[in-house]
C-alpha cells in the first residue's frame, strides 16, 4: 500500500475529516502483523537520515498536528526517535511568550526551521495560529483568515531554500481521546500530562474539526503537502508516518558527498603506519 498516496490531501481538495475512518488499518489486522514492516521502515529512516546529514544540501521539516492525546509525542518517540539526535531536532510550540507576541506570528517559527542536513520536527506548529487562535477567538476572523496564504508563502520560501516539508495530521475519534484520557488518570506516571483544559477543549471538538478541515484544505500544496493519518491504533499510525517520511526522503535521491581528501594517499599512509606498527610488535616479541 502506498501510504503517501492513500492519505495525501491533494492540492486544492477539500478534506472532510468525518469521511476518514480513524480506526482504519489497511491490510493489517493487528500490531503483530505490522511489526516487521514498521521495523523495516525505521531502519530505512536511519539510513536516509544519515544520507541527508552527510549530503548537507537540504533539510526536512515535519509538522505534527492533532487533538490532545492523538499521539504526537508517541510518534516522535517510536518512529522519529530512531533518527540520530546529531541531525534531528524536536521543537514544541507552546503558548507564545510576551517577546513572541510582540512580533508577527511566524517570527518564532522561522527561527526553528531546520538547517541544511537537519531534520526538524514541530510538535504543534505555526498552524496553532489558525486553529486555537480561531476556535478561541484570540484574534478576529479578518486576521486569522488571511494567515492561510501567509503560511503558504512562508512554506514556499522554506522550500525554495532547500527545506522539504511534510505535514501530518493525526486523526483520532473523540471516543478514543476519552479512552486515552482515562489511561492517564489510571496511570500515576502520566498524571503530569493531565490538564483541566483537555476536558474543556473536548466541548469544542466540532469547532476544531471545522478549523482543521479549512486549514488543511487551504494549505496542502504541492510543495508542502498535508497527510491525514488514521491514528486510533498507535501501531498503524507509527507504520504510516514512518513510511511517509521514508518515502519523502527517498524521493530526494540523495548521494553521499565526494571525499575532500585523496583517499588512496591516506590508505597508503595508513597501510605504511600499520606495517611499521606490526614490525614493532614482532620486534618486541
Q: pLDDT in tens for each of the 285 residues of the chain?
A: 789 999 999 988 899 999 999 999 999 999 999 999 999 998 999 999 999 999 999 999 999 999 999 999 999 998 888 888 889 999 999 889 999 999 999 999 999 999 999 999 999 999 999 999 999 999 999 999 999 999 999 999 999 999 999 999 999 999 999 999 998 888 888 887 777 777 788 999 999 999 999 999 999 999 999 999 999 999 999 999 999 999 999 999 999 988 877 778 878 877 887 787 777 656 655
* Superfamily (CATH H level) for 3-284: P-loop containing nucleotide triphosphate hydrolases (3.40.50.300)
What is the predicted pLDDT for the residue at 58? 96
Q: Which of 156, 235, 219 is nearest to 227 (CA)?
A: 219
Angle 44-250-114 from CA coordinates, rounded to 5°: 90
What is the predicted pLDDT for the residue at 261? 75
What is the predicted pLDDT for the residue at 45? 94
Contact (CB, 8 A) for 215 and 135: no
Q: How many residues does the chain have?
A: 285
In this structure, what C-alpha cell is assigned to residue 202?
473536548
What is the predicted pLDDT for the residue at 55? 95
Calpha distance 14→170 (Å, rounded): 17
Torsions phi, psi for 120 (to 5 deg): -115, 135
Torsions phi, psi for 165 (to 5 deg): -120, 130
Sheet of 119-123: strand order equals: 8-9, 226-230, 163-171, 59-66, 119-123, 88-92
Domain residue extents for the chain: 3-284
Amino acid at each position: 500500500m502506498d501510504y503517501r498516496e492513500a492519505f495525501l490531501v491533494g492540492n486544492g481538495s477539500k478534506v472532510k475529516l468525518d469521511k476518514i475512518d480513524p480506526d482504519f488499518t489497511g491490510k493489517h489486522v493487528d500490531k503483530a502483523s505490522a511489526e516487521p514492516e514498521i521495523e523495516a521502515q525505521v531502519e530505512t529512516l536511519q539510513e536516509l537520515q544519515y544520507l541527508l546529514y552527510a549530503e548537507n544540501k537540504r533539510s526536512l521539516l515535519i509538522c505534527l498536528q492533532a487533538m490532545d492525546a492523538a499521539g504526537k509525542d508517541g510518534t516522535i518517540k517510536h518512529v522519529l526517535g530512531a533518527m540520530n539526535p546529531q541531525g534531528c531536532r524536536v521543537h514544541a510550540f507552546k503558548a507564545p511568550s510576551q517577546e513572541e507576541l510582540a512580533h508577527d506570528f511566524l517570527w518564532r517559527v522561522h527561527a526553528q526551521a531546520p538547517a541544511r542536513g537537519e531534520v526538524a520536527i514541530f510538535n504543534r506548529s505555526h498552524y496553532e495560529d489558525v486553529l486555537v487562535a480561531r476556535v478561541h477567538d484570540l484574534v478576529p476572523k479578518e486576521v486569522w483568515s488571511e494567515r492561510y496564504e501567509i503560511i503558504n508563502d512562508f512554506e514556499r520560501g522554506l522550500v525554495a531554500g532547500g527545506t522539504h516539508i511534510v505535514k501530518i495530521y493525526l486523526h483520532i475519534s473523540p471516543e478514543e481521546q476519552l479512552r486515552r484520557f482515562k489511561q492517564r488518570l489510571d496511570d500515576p506516571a502520566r498524571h503530569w500530562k493531565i490538564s483541566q483544559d483537555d476536558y474543556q477543549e473536548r466541548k469544542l471538538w466540532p469547532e476544531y474539526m471545522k478549523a482543521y478541515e479549512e486549514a488543511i484544505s487551504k494549505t496542502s500544496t504541492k510543495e508542502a503537502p498535508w497527510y491525514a493519518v488514521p491514528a486510533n491504533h498507535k501501531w498503524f499510525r507509527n507504520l504510516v508516518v514512518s513510511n511517509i517520511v521514508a518515502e519523502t526522503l527517498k524521493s530526494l535521491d540523495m548521494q553521499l558527498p565526494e571525499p575532500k581528501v585523496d583517499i588512496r594517499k591516506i590508505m597508503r599512509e595508513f597501510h605504511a603506519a600499520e606495517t611499521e606498527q606490526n614490525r614493532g610488535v614482532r620486534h618486541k616479541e
